[in-house]
Structure 1
Amino acid sequence: MGVHGLQQYIDSNIDFLMTCCFRQSKLIIDGSCLFHWLYFESNLDQIHGGNYNDFEKTVTLFFKNLGACNIEPYVVLDGGDDIKGNKFETMKRRCQERIRRANALSRGCSGEHLPILIKNVFKQILQKIGVHFIQCLTEADWEAAALANEWGCPILSSDSDFYIFSNRGGFLPITYFKWRKGSHHKCIPAKLFRFENLCAAFNHMNRHNLSLFAIIQGNDYYNLDKRQFPNFSQFSTRLGKTSKIDGLLTWLSHFTGPTEAISSLMSQMKKDVKSDSLRHNINQAMEMYRLKPSSIAQFFINGEPQSRPLQNLPDWTLKPLAEGKLASSIIAVLTQKRVILKFQVEDFGLSSSNHTSQLIRQVMYGILLCTRRQNIIKCSTSDEENQQYDVEEYDRQKTTLISSMVPAVLPRCVETQLHLDSLWEAPQDVRLQVMLEALEVSQIADSTVPEGLQLAVYVTCFWLKHAKPKPRAEIFWALLVSLVYGYLCREPKTEEVEVLSLEFEKLYRCNSSRAMDLKLAHAYCQWHCCLKDSFTLNQLLNHPVPEPELASLYCGSLLHGAAHELKRGRDPESVLTGSSVAISLYQSLHAAVVCELDDDFITKMQTRTRECQKSVDKLSNAFEHLMDEDEEENVACRENVDDKLP
C-alpha cells in the first residue's frame, strides 16, 4: 500500500525514525492495517478459514495494553473502496494476487491470507470492548491523517502514504510498535516519523515537495508514465534498489516548491507531450495529500456522521455505516453497482465458494437497487425481462479474476412493502419474511435454539441445500458440534465446559499437524460465504434475526479436527461426552436443521454416512486382521525359540 518503494527506503535509513516511549496520548489507528497486522503477527490459522476466537483475544489484549499506557485510541476503518474509480486497476491486481496466495496455501505452500469475516469480527470486538471507531464512507487514509493533524496526535499504520501527509503529530509505523511490552513498562516502545526530519535531511526541502515526490514515484491511485522522466538515480550517492527514491528526493530538494519542480520536469520532455494536461493531472493528484479539517472529528465528539454524503446513499444509512452496523459493501452496490468478492483457501479446481451464497446477495442487491419507489416495478421478479438492475460481481474462475453481471432480485411478496429510504422503519415481520425467504427457511418455532445460534442454523439449512458437492453427514455434524462448543465457551464456565475444552483442545492440536483436506475446506468455505452474506443481509434489514457473535461461530482448525474425528466413525455425542448441556444443545440444533430438509435429502445423507461407516469398518477389520497375523507370527517365533533352548 502507499508510495511505491518508500517503506523499504525508510527502513534502510533508520535515522529518519526517532525512538520513543509512547504513552498518555490520543492515537489515530488505521483500522484495516491493524486487523491485518494483528492477525498475521499472532500466527493465527489461515488455511482452515481462520480462527476468530483467538483473534478476539489478541485484539482485546492489544487495546488493554494501550489503556495501561493511558493511550486513548480512535480507530478509523475504510468504507467504500475507491468510489471515484481511480484505484480500481490496483484493486483488481491485488485481488488477483490474493487468489494466487490462497491457491498456493491450498497446495501446501506458505503465504498470508485473511479470513473473509475478519473486518466484521473486528468491528464487533471494538463495540464489545468500547473502543471508539468509525467506518468511513470512502477510504480512510485521508480522514485519518486529517483527524490526527487536527488533534496533534500520531497515526498508527503500515501504509507509506502517511510518510507524505504533513501530520503535525507524526506517524508510528506499526512494525516498530512493540505493543506487547506496554503493560510492563506503562509505555510502548516505538519509532516515530516526522516529515520535518525527512525534509531537513534534504536541504530543508519544502514539505509540499513530498506530495510531488509521491506522485512521481507512484502510489495506489496514480502511476504516471515515467519514460519521459529523468533517471533520478544519477542524483543519488547511494547504490541499490533505493537509489531512485534517494535521487528523486535529492532532485526535488533543489526547488523552492512543487510548481518550480513541475516546470523543470515539463521542460525536459519532448514537444509532443501534452504538458498542460500532464501538469493538470499531477496537480490534481497532489491534492490527495493536502490536509483540510476532517469530516469525522464530529462523529467522535458528538456522534454526527460524515457530512459529505455520497450520491445514491440514503440519509438514514450514514449513521449506522459510521457506527459499523452496516457493511461497507453496500456503498459499492449503491454507488457503482460493482462488488469485488472475498476469496478463501479452498479447492481451486471447483467453482468459487461464493457461488453457493449468490442467491442471498441477489436479494441484498434487490433491496438496495429495486426498492426506491421509482424502481419497484422494474425489479419485479414476475417478469424476468423487466429486471433492469444488475450488479457486476468480480469472482474467480479457477485462479483467474473474472466479472459477471448478477441480477438483483426482490421477493415478490414484499416488493411493494419495502422502501430503501425508510427500510429500517418497515415492520419487523416484513423484514423477517424477507430474511427467511432469502435463506429458504421457516422461522424457528421454539426456544430450544439460543438467539446467538439462530442465524447459524438458518445459514446451515441454506448451505446444505445449495452446496456443491453436497456435504457428507459427518461434515454437517462437525459443524454443529463446533457451533455448540463455540457458543458454550461464551457462557459462564462450568465443570462440564472445562471437560469439553480439554477434548476440543486435543482436536485442535491433532488437526494442526494434519495435511489440509481440500474436500472439507471447500465445504466449510461455502458455509463461511453463506454466513458472511447472510450476516450482511441481516444487518441491512435491521436485524430481524438476532445478531450473533461471529467470533464464536467459526474456528477452522477445531472444525476440521472435529470433522476428521467423526469421519473415523465417532458419533457427535461421543465428541461432546462429559457435557449433558452440550449434547442437548447439539440435538436441538440438529433437529432445527433437519426439519427444514426434505426426506430425499436426509436419506441420501444417511446413505453416504453408512457408506463412510462401511469404509471405516473395512479399514478397522483389515487393521485387526493384520494385528492378528502379527500376533500369530510372534507366537510362532517364540515357540521356535523355545524349541531351540536347552
Structure 2
Amino acid sequence: MGVQGLASLIKNHRTIYRDVRFRKSRLVIDGCNLIYLLYFNSGLDQNRGGDYAAFEDLIEKFIKALRDCEVTPYVVLDGGADYTGKKLETLTLRAKGRIARAHQAAVGDTKEDILPQLVKLTFKQTLARLEVPVAQCYGEADQEIAALAKEWQCPVLSNDSDFYIFDLPAGLLPISYFQWEAVVQSGSQSYIPCKNYNASSFCIVFNIQRQLLPTFAALAGNDYVKLERMDSPVHWTQFCPASSETPTCLEGLLCWLRDFHQTQEAFEAALGLMGELSTKRKAGVLEGLYLGMEEYKLPPSSLKRFFTHGTPPPLPAAEQVAGLVPDWTRLPLTQARLTSDILDVLQLHGISLAFTVGDADMPSMHLTSRPIRQVMYGLLLGKGKQHQVTECDRDGLQLTATLVQPAFTGVSQQLRLSSLDQAEPSQRLQVLLEALGATEASLSRLPPQLRLPVAVTCYWLQRAQPHPDESLLKALLLGISNGEGLRQRAALQIQNEHCKQKLDVRVVHAFNQWQACLKDSLHLNQLLGFPLPEPQIARLYEGTVVHHLVYWMRTGGKLKYFLKSDCSSVKQYQAMLAVVHQLPTQEVSTPSEIQKTAASSQRQPLNDLTANLQQLYGDEDEEAATEVRSAVKALEDIHLDDFVSVRTRYKAKERNNRSKNPELARKEECRGLDFL
C-alpha cells in the first residue's frame, strides 16, 4: 500500500535522485501504477465513460518510445484481493472515497481521478496486440515486481512508494520523472531522460543503516499496525531538527532511527515511547511490526520462468485457499487472458465492483449486469447452499455488501469448473448466449468482432433502467460502426461549436450500464475460453463522441454529418440495428429462464421486426419510413432472411419506389447518408 508521504519527502531532497539517460535495458513495469498515471496525466475523458481509442494511442506511443531506445518492457499487473484480510480497512476507506469522488465528478462535471470501467481491459488488449510481455499475479504485484527486477539487475518503473524500500540493485525509475515523450536522439542512439532512485542514496542523505529501511516503513505505518492510532501515539515530529521549516512525521522518524543499527532494538525503543502497554498489547504491536517488514523481503522470482519459458507460477499453497482454484486456470490467469476476479470469487466468495463516475442518486450500474455475473458464479462455485457471493457495491453514497446467489442456464448446470476448459465449444458458446438471451443464428451473420458487443447491446436494451431511448442506441451503434472517422468529425464539430456540453448524468448512467454489461460479458467469455472473439474495446466506445451524438440528435441534428463516406460502415450500422431489434421487447427474466426466452424468440418474423422498428422510430414521415426500410434491407444483405419471412408494407413500398425511381435505388446502396 506504500509509505504515505514518502514520495513527497524525497521530492524535497532531490539530491537523492540521479539523472540518467535510460536506454538498452530490461525494464520491469508496475502495470497498474502505469495505467493510472498514463490515463490521469493525459487529460483524457473520465466522466463520459472513457476515451479508449485515445488511451490506446497513448499506450502505443509509450511502447514505441521504449523500443526506440532499445528498452525491453515487462509489465506486471496486480491480481486477486488479499485473502488474509489485512488490507480490508485500507481498501474499505479507499472504496468509500471513490464513491464520494465519483458522485462529485458527476454532479459537478469535474475530474476526480476516477478510472473509466474498461481502461484496464484496453491496456491489456493493447499490450497483447503489441506483443509486450505481460504477467498478471495471483495477488498484489509489488513483491513479484521487485523480486524479478532484483534477479534481472534491471530497474523498476513505478510511482509506488514501496519501491523506495525494496532492495533494488538497479534502483527505481519514478514515472513522474520518466520523460518518455521527450526521447533524445544522440548520434545513432536514443535515450529517455529520467531520474533514478537508489536506496543507498536515501540512506546516505538521511544517515540511517540500509538494513533499517524496512524497519522505517513498518514504524511509519502498515496494514497490520498503525502506531498513530495507539492510545499513546508517538509524535515523531518531536525528533525533527530545529532547523526544519515544515517538520513531518517521516523526517522525525528518520532522525530518530539514526541511533540504531538493528531492527529489534529500534522496535523495542519505539514500544518504550508508547507509554505503559500490557504484555499482550506489546506482543501484538511487535508482531504487527515484524509482519509489516515481511512485505519487503524478496523471495525468488516466480515470474522469471514465465517470461523466459512461458511456465506459470504455482498457485498459493496457503491452507485457506489450497485447492480452490483449478490448475488449468494458471496459464490464462498469468497471461492476463482471464480476469483475476475469479480468484476473489473462488477464494473469498466475494467480489469488489468498480465505482465509476455517476450520480449517487441513481441505482448502481452493476444491477443491470448482475444476472451475467450470477451465471459466472454458478460456473465457478457450482451448486451448494453455502455458495453465495458477497458483492461490494454502492447504494447511494454508502458502501454495501450484498449476498448474491449463483445462477444456472440450461447448459451451464451440466458443466464443472475442473473440466470447463475441456467442454465442447458448442456448449461453452451456448452458456454465453443463454446468459445474454441471444441466439447463434441471429449473431452468426455479423462480423465475428461484432457478435459479442451486439449481443450485449440486445441484453442492455431489454434490461437497462430506465429503458434506453432511440438516441442512446443509435449513438452506441454509430460509434461502433464508424470508428476513427466518426471521432475526427465529432471532435471537429465540438471544436466548431466553441462550447462544452453540460454533462447529462442520465446519459452517463445509461452508458455506464452498457459498459458494465460488456465488461461482465467479456469476463464470462474469458472464463468459457472465448467462444466468441473478444472485441477490441478501443473500437467500440469513445465517451466524448457518443455523448456528443446523443446531444446532437436530441437537439435536432442529422447524423449524416458524422457518417463515413464509404457504404460499408453505414451498412454495418444498419445490420447491427436490425439484429438488435429482431428480438421482441420482453419482461426481464431470470438466468434460469434465459434458455426458454432465447428459443422462443429465435424465429421472429421480419414483419414483427418491422413493427418493432416502426414503433421505435414512428412512421409519420418519409425519413422514419426509410430508416425502417433500410434496417429491413440490411437483414437481407447479411442473409438473415433465410430464417425469417418478409411481408410488410415497407417492403412492398420499397420495391415499388425502386422500379419507378432507379436513382433512389442507387442512392440506397449507400443507405443512411441522407436520412440519418
Q: If the length of structure 2 is used for normalisation, what is the TM-score?
A: 0.83
Partner of 1:405: helix, strand, or coil?
strand
1:421 to 408, 413, 418: 418
Partner of 1:7: helix, strand, or coil?
helix
Residue 199 (structure 1) aligns with: 203
Please tell me whether residue 60 in structure 1 is matched to residue 60 in structure 2: yes
Residue 219 (structure 2) aligns with: 216
Bigger mean CA offset, 531-540 vs 163-172 = 163-172
Query: Deviation per CA, 1:513-537, whole angstroms, max 9, x where unpaired?
Result: 2111112111111101000000000
Which AA in structure 1 matches 2:239? Answer: F
Contact in 1 for aligned 2:582/2:609 (Cα 8 Å): no
Query: Deviation per CA, 1:442-478, whole angstroms, max 9, x where unpaired?
Result: 1244654111111110000000111000011121111
Contact in 2 for aligned 1:8/1:242 (Cα 8 Å): no
Query: Deviation per CA, 1:569-623, whole angstroms, max 9, x where unpaired?
Result: 456556426331111111110111111233999978866755999xxxxxxxxxx
Query: Deviation per CA, 1:178-207, whole angstroms, max 9, x where unpaired?
Result: 11012545111111111111112233x222
Residue 503 (structure 1) aligns with: 489
Please tell me whether residue 251 in structure 1 is matched to residue 251 in structure 2: no
**Shift in Å, 1:230:** 3.5
**Shift in Å, 1:341:** 0.4
| Residues 333 and 406 of structure 1, relative CA distance in 2, 3 Å threshold | same
Residue 16 (structure 2) aligns with: 16
Please tell me whether residue 283 in structure 1 is matched to residue 285 in structure 2: no
Find the aligned partners of 1:82 and 1:442 in 2 and give their Cα distance. 39
Please tell me whether residue 234 in structure 1 is matched to residue 258 in structure 2: no
Contact in 2 for aligned 1:51/1:555 (Cα 8 Å): yes
Please tell me whether residue 451 in structure 1 is matched to residue 448 in structure 2: yes
Residue 392 (structure 2) aligns with: 394
**Shift in Å, 1:66:** 0.6
Find the aligned partners of 1:195 and 1:611 in 2 and give their Cα distance. 73
| Residues 43 and 446 of structure 1, relative CA distance in 2, 3 Å threshold | closer
Find the aligned partners of 2:200 and 2:373 in 1 and give their Cα distance. 48
**Shift in Å, 1:88:** 1.5
2:409 to 408, 411, 434: 411
Please tell me whether residue 321 in structure 1 is matched to residue 333 in structure 2: yes
Find the aligned partners of 2:114 and 2:289 in 1 and give their Cα distance. 35
Query: Deviation per CA, 1:83-124, whole angstroms, max 9, x where unpaired?
Result: 221112211211111111211111123422111111111111
Query: Deviation per CA, 1:542-585, whole angstroms, max 9, x where unpaired?
Result: 01111111111110111111122222345655642633111111
Contact in 2 for aligned 1:235/1:247 (Cα 8 Å): yes
Contact in 1 for aligned 2:224/2:291 (Cα 8 Å): no
2:355 to 343, 346, 357: 343
Which AA in structure 2 matches 1:474? Answer: S
Find the aligned partners of 1:37 and 1:134 in 2 and give their Cα distance. 19
| Residues 145 and 183 of structure 1, relative CA distance in 2, 3 Å threshold | same
Which AA in structure 2 matches 1:217? Answer: A
| Residues 226 and 174 of structure 1, relative CA distance in 2, 3 Å threshold | farther
1:440 to 437, 440, 445: 437
Contact in 2 for aligned 1:236/1:243 (Cα 8 Å): yes
Residue 301 (structure 2) aligns with: 294
Query: Deviation per CA, 1:225-247, whole angstroms, max 9, x where unpaired?
Result: 44434322222115455532111
| Residues 501 and 230 of structure 1, relative CA distance in 2, 3 Å threshold | closer
| Residues 501 and 448 of structure 1, relative CA distance in 2, 3 Å threshold | farther
Residue 73 (structure 2) aligns with: 73
Find the aligned partners of 1:479 and 1:32 in 2 and give their Cα distance. 28
Residue 270 (structure 1) aligns with: 276
Match runs of 1:507-526 below 5 Å? 507=493, 509=495, 513-526=500-513
**Shift in Å, 1:422:** 1.2
| Residues 484 and 611 of structure 1, relative CA distance in 2, 3 Å threshold | same
Quote the sequence identity (%). Answer: 38
Contact in 2 for aligned 1:5/1:242 (Cα 8 Å): no
Residue 312 (structure 2) aligns with: 305
2:475 to 475, 478, 486: 478
Contact in 2 for aligned 1:448/1:588 (Cα 8 Å): no
**Shift in Å, 1:502:** 5.0
| Residues 42 and 271 of structure 1, relative CA distance in 2, 3 Å threshold | closer
Residue 126 (structure 1) aligns with: 127
| Residues 354 and 424 of structure 1, relative CA distance in 2, 3 Å threshold | same
Bigger mean CA offset, 272-281 vs 246-255 = 272-281
| Residues 89 and 254 of structure 1, relative CA distance in 2, 3 Å threshold | same
Match runs of 1:505-584 below 5 Å? 505-507=491-493, 509=495, 513-570=500-557, 572=559, 575-576=562-563, 578-584=565-571
Query: Deviation per CA, 1:378-410, whole angstroms, max 9, x where unpaired?
Result: 3xxxxxxxx431111111111221111111112
Residue 597 (structure 1) aligns with: 584
Bigger mean CA offset, 570-579 vs 361-370 = 570-579
| Residues 118 and 152 of structure 1, relative CA distance in 2, 3 Å threshold | same
Contact in 2 for aligned 1:78/1:135 (Cα 8 Å): yes
Contact in 2 for aligned 1:507/1:558 (Cα 8 Å): no
Residue 161 (structure 1) aligns with: 162
Find the aligned partners of 1:272 and 1:446 in 2 and give their Cα distance. 69
Find the aligned partners of 2:353 and 2:448 in 1 and give their Cα distance. 28
Please tell me whether residue 362 in structure 1 is matched to residue 374 in structure 2: yes
Which AA in structure 2 matches 1:541? Answer: L
Residue 179 (structure 1) aligns with: 180
Please tell me whether residue 139 in structure 1 is matched to residue 140 in structure 2: yes
Find the aligned partners of 2:70 and 2:564 in 1 and give their Cα distance. 45
Contact in 2 for aligned 1:461/1:597 (Cα 8 Å): no
Which AA in structure 2 matches 1:5? Answer: G
Bigger mean CA offset, 132-141 vs 509-518 = 509-518
Find the aligned partners of 1:140 and 1:340 in 2 and give their Cα distance. 18
Which AA in structure 2 matches 1:538? Answer: N
**Shift in Å, 1:22:** 1.2
Find the aligned partners of 1:521 and 1:444 in 2 and give their Cα distance. 32
**Shift in Å, 1:507:** 4.7
Partner of 2:135: helix, strand, or coil?
strand
**Shift in Å, 1:136:** 0.4
Which AA in structure 1 matches 2:372? Answer: I
Find the aligned partners of 2:222 and 2:282 in 1 and give their Cα distance. 21
Query: Deviation per CA, 1:8-33, whole angstroms, max 9, x where unpaired?
Result: 11111111111111111111100000
Bigger mean CA offset, 208-217 vs 446-455 = 446-455
Residue 637 (structure 1) aligns with: none
Which AA in structure 2 matches 1:392? Answer: T
**Shift in Å, 1:82:** 1.7
Bigger mean CA offset, 334-343 vs 599-608 = 599-608
Find the aligned partners of 1:454 and 1:446 in 2 and give their Cα distance. 5
Contact in 2 for aligned 1:173/1:192 (Cα 8 Å): yes
Please tell me whether residue 84 in structure 1 is matched to residue 84 in structure 2: yes
Match runs of 1:635-646 below 5 Å? none
| Residues 19 and 575 of structure 1, relative CA distance in 2, 3 Å threshold | closer
| Residues 247 and 574 of structure 1, relative CA distance in 2, 3 Å threshold | closer
